[in-house]
A = this chain, B = another copy of it.
């Protein structure tokens, strides 16, 4: 179970015919009355619940963004200032509705209106989200024709969660789901999530205030009651420690979107940033996002193995992060990982290209705990050394690079580059 485990949520998925493969391509996640399952919820209670709902989102910070991201940013900026929380998320795969200009915006709005009508809510409370081929219009009629049955099929439970997770996949081989449960203020808080992402993955996400990139889509649900600014802040911090730490191909997408909706169905006092419970919630949310990010990098296009690069001794966290990113994004390093090849010179030189200080005097490099480079010179470990070969052959290769005498550190997780990656991406639209 994932997104419908927290009370207040229902989900459904269907096939609207957007993918040549004919696989499911349309999902709907709805934050309803917590008693949505019951035949006739009392009117007063419904209003109370709506007031307790909150939502937050982060999007790609690319200069070129899809229509759903443009609409989402507008909603988010209003929501942070007390605007209405989201009621539903309509997600399609197959078409990204990006590089489609104003007609793309109109297409998305037509879908929002259709969902709003069938759910009986303001279209502005429906967030559209799209992933797939860029530069092609959405087949609005196919989508709107599918909406009535989609709404009718809304349900809770494993089947609904799994169907939604599958419908948002593009080149993903496996669906991605996560769930955490914690106790806050003597109440059981559930956080559920689904995500998709395999290629065009190098998320750098913006924030509600100033902009920051990722086609990663992740949708998070929780029954917690939380103030909107606190939810937004918790989500941004969770993304920094998860999705922004992975890169499949160094190519952020125009559609990256992470959305969290809190139903407020839990009869607890709403959490705000100054409460100690905020940190507990944020940690659990980070755990959910890290689980999803890990599932995404493992399912990176063509990936057979992953590797984590930890950078220590940098002057600032930003410099450490920049160095770690330069290493995980080097095609030469990625190929060495693919070939179980302890060609560590590629790691050191990739770090040297990150436009951050690198002091050989205090530098060192270990692979799976085996030190291969120290104080600017090789330690003399033979490439055929048994421990080094074992370290290079691990499912996740662990690289620790110290670059100087500073105190700051950072990390990124990447995946290997395989011939399969080339096959997938040389044949994507043709």
Q: Which residues of A contact B (CB under 8 A)?
A: 62-65, 96, 98-104, 133-137, 199-200, 213, 249-254, 329-332, 335-336, 338-346, 348-358, 360, 372-373, 375-378, 383, 417-419, 421-430
CB-CB under 8 A from A426, the residues of chain B are 335-336, 338-339, 341
Chain B residues whose CB sits within 8 angstroms of the CB of A349 once the complex forms: 62, 64, 98-99, 134, 200, 251-254
Contact flag A332-B425 (CB < 8 Å), given A96-B345, A101-B377, A351-B64? yes
Measured CA separation A137–B375 after assembly (Å): 15
Contact partners of A254 in chain B: CB under 8 A:
345, 348-349, 352
Q: Give CA–CA (A250, B344) in the complex, Å.
A: 17
Q: Say whether B249 contacts A332, CB under 8 Å.
A: yes
Are A376 and B101 in touch, CB under 8 angstroms?
A: yes
Q: Are A335 and B425 in contact (CB under 8 A)?
A: yes
Q: How far is the CB of A317 from chain B (nearest CB, A)?
A: 18
- Residues B64 and A377 in contact, CB atoms below 8 Å apart: no
Chain B residues with Cβ below 8 Å from A377 are 99-104
Pairs across A and B, CB under 8 Å, 13 listed: A63-B351, A63-B354, A101-B360, A102-B376, A134-B348, A135-B372, A199-B332, A252-B353, A254-B352, A336-B428, A341-B430, A383-B429, A383-B430
Q: Which residues of B contact A355 (CB under 8 A)?
A: 63
Q: Contact: A356 with B63, CB < 8 Å?
A: yes
Known: A99-B378, A134-B348, A339-B428. 19 other contacts (CB 8 A): A63-B353, A64-B351, A96-B345, A98-B349, A99-B373, A102-B377, A134-B343, A134-B345, A135-B373, A249-B332, A250-B331, A251-B330, A254-B348, A332-B425, A335-B425, A339-B425, A339-B427, A341-B428, A417-B422
Total copies of this chain within the assembly: 2
Chain B residue contacts of A425, Cβ below 8 A: 331-332, 335-336, 339
Cβ-closest 6 pairs across A and B: A134-B345, A64-B352, A339-B426, A335-B425, A101-B377, A419-B419
* Cβ-closest chain B residue relative to A429: B343
Q: Is the interface of A mostly helix, strand, loop or mixed?
A: loop
Partner among B100, B329, B353 whose Cβ is within 8 Å of the Cβ of A62:
B353
* Nearest B-chain residue to A419, judged by Cβ: B419
With a cutoff of 8 Å between Cβ atoms, the chain B residues found around residue A338 in the complex are 422, 426
Chain B min CB distance to A65 (Å): 7
A279 and B427 alpha carbons, distance in the complex (Å): 47
Cα distance A345–B66 in the bound complex, in angstroms = 11
Q: Is the CB of A419 within 8 A of B423?
A: yes
**Which single residue of chain B is at the shortest CB-CB distance from A357?**
B63
Instruction: Considering the complex, give the chain B residue whose CB is closest to the CB of A354.
Output: B63
A379 and chain B: residue at smallest CB distance: B135
Instruction: Determine the distance from Cα of A343 to Cα of B137 in the docked complex, in whole angstroms.
Output: 14
Complex Cα distance, B353 from A357, in Å, reads 24
Q: Inside 8 A of A65's CB, which chain B residues have their CB?
A: 352
Q: How far is the CA of A353 from the CA of B332 in the complex (A)?
A: 22
**A251 engages B346 (CB within 8 Å):** yes
Question: CA separation between A376 and B339, bound complex, in Å?
Answer: 41
Partner among B136, B253, B342, B427 whose Cβ is within 8 Å of the Cβ of A378:
B136
Cβ-defined partner of A422 (8 Å) among B101, B375, B419, B427: B419
**Given A343-B428, A345-B98, A426-B338, residue A353 in contact with residue B251 (CB < 8 A):** yes
